[in-house]
Amino acid sequence: MNLIFHDVDSALAREVTSVVTSAQTQAVVHLQTSGTTGTPRQITKDLAKALRRKRSGNRSDRFMLTFSPTRWAGVSVIVHCYQVECTLIVPASLSPLDIIAACFAHRPTHISLTPSLFRNLVLHDHNRELRSVGFLQITFGGEAAPQSVLDLARALWPKARLTHTYASTEHGDICAVSDGRAGFPPAKFARHCFPDGGKDGELHIDGVPTGDFWRLEGDRYHFVGRREEIINVGGNKVSPAVVEEAAFQCGVKMAKAYAVPSPLLGSLVALDFVGDIPPPELRRQLAEKLPKFACPARLSQLNQLELSEAGKLVRKP
């Protein structure tokens, strides 16, 4: 394994070195869950077991680290590079600007990241030079990858293979597709089930509810949201992902939809967004794309949206 540290004295470099040492000794690592499913929890992962898994890759692959080595997603990338004996590029920190700087300096070929971080990188790529980095593989995980993100990645890196995955710390990798289309074919969920034998709703894995709600639309399952994220507007269930995707189609660069309490209807949809489109114009365009109950009652134009340490959109208002 070839390690490239953009800043060898950084805290990130130390954390990565610690995980590599654990891989070498096939030790266990103690990690924290991202907290998507509730309060972050301490978990233990056996690297000997992770290293027994067969992985495909080439020694010439150059991975950019974008996930914290204190999370399973980050450990997974490190273990992959260790096993395939390829190059791992470690930025000075996981901030978008440091990741971009490391991309320019060390020319990665592979990157795994959340769709939110991807949007953030594009947003911070002020000189639009990131496309000069020749990514061959872009893998989205940690959050659902909407079609707008896949289309943006395709436009910027036409030759890259685009993969999006569905995984959780508790269940590991659940499924992945690489056809550039949002959602997952039903065959990917064939081993799992929905309540009461239904075709959609909350996915159960090995009989355990995941808290993730899915909707079958055409020939694909699309992510609706976490149980606690779905917005109930006077009895109508609104998926934040659907509202955000509509905003992206209007030219918004980052978006976060969430519930705000309403004395009359229980909840209304609010949308925080980053982009140049004036709120009244965005509101008008969204009204053409969404059912009325899903249209944001409040729009807030911001300079940036907060991402968690796991690279996910912080969904609390």
Partner 1 sequence: MKSKAQVILHLSQAIADATFGRITAESIKPSDRIMADLGLDSLDYATVMLGCEQWCGVKLNENKVNWAEIDTVEKLADLFAATSQS
Which residues bind to partner 1, rule: CB under 8 A?
233-234, 260, 262-265, 268, 280, 283-284, 287, 292-293, 297-298
We find the least distance from the C-beta atom of residue 148 to partner 1, in angstroms, to be 25
CA distance 64 to 67: 9
Give the pairing type, strands 137-140 and 161-168: parallel
For residue 8, report the phi and psi dihedrals to the nearest 5 degrees.
-65, -20
Tokens encoding 253: 């660069």
Q: Which residue lies nearer to partner 1 by CB, 99 or 290?
A: 290
CA–CA distance, 126 with 129 (Å, rounded to integer): 8
- Beta strand pairing call for 110-113 and 28-32: unpaired
d(CA 21, CA 15): 10
Complex with partner 1: residue 152 or 297, whichever CB lies closer: 297
Non-local CB neighbours of 73 within 8 Å, separated by 6+ positions:
67, 112, 141, 142, 310
Nearer to partner 1 among residue 159 and residue 292 (C-beta): 292
Q: How far is the CB of 274 from partner 1 (least distance, A)?
A: 20
262's CB contacts (< 8 A; 6+ apart) are 268, 297
Residue 206 falls in which region: left (phi positive, over 0), alpha (psi -120 to 50) or beta: left
Closest CB to partner 1 among residues 28, 260? 260
The nearer residue to partner 1, 149 or 294, going by C-beta atoms, is 294
Q: Which is nearer to partner 1, 161 or 293 (CB)?
A: 293
Tokens of 77: 């990338």
Of 125, 17, 127, 119, the closest CA to residue 65 belongs to: 17
Closest distance between partner 1 and the C-beta of residue 262, in Å? 5
- Min CB(293)–partner 1 separation in Å: 6
Cα torsion 120, 121, 125, 130: sign = negative
CB of 246 to partner 1, least distance (A): 17
Q: Cβ of residue 44: shortest distance to partner 1, in angstroms?
A: 44
**In sequence order, what are the beta bridge partners of 42?**
32
> CA torsion, points 13, 18, 24, 25, in degrees to nearest 10?
170
Nearest to partner 1 of 146, 296 (CB atom): 296
Nearer to partner 1, 154 or 298 (CB): 298
Closest distance to partner 1 from the beta carbon of 269 (Å): 10
Closest contact distance (angstroms) between CB of 64 and partner 1 is 40
Number of Cβ within 10 Å of residue 185's Cβ equals 14
DSSP H/E element including 272: strand 266-274
CB of 268 to partner 1, least distance (A): 6
Between 186 and 266, name the residue whose CB sits nearer to partner 1: 266
Q: How far apart are CA 310 and CA 34, in angstroms?
A: 6
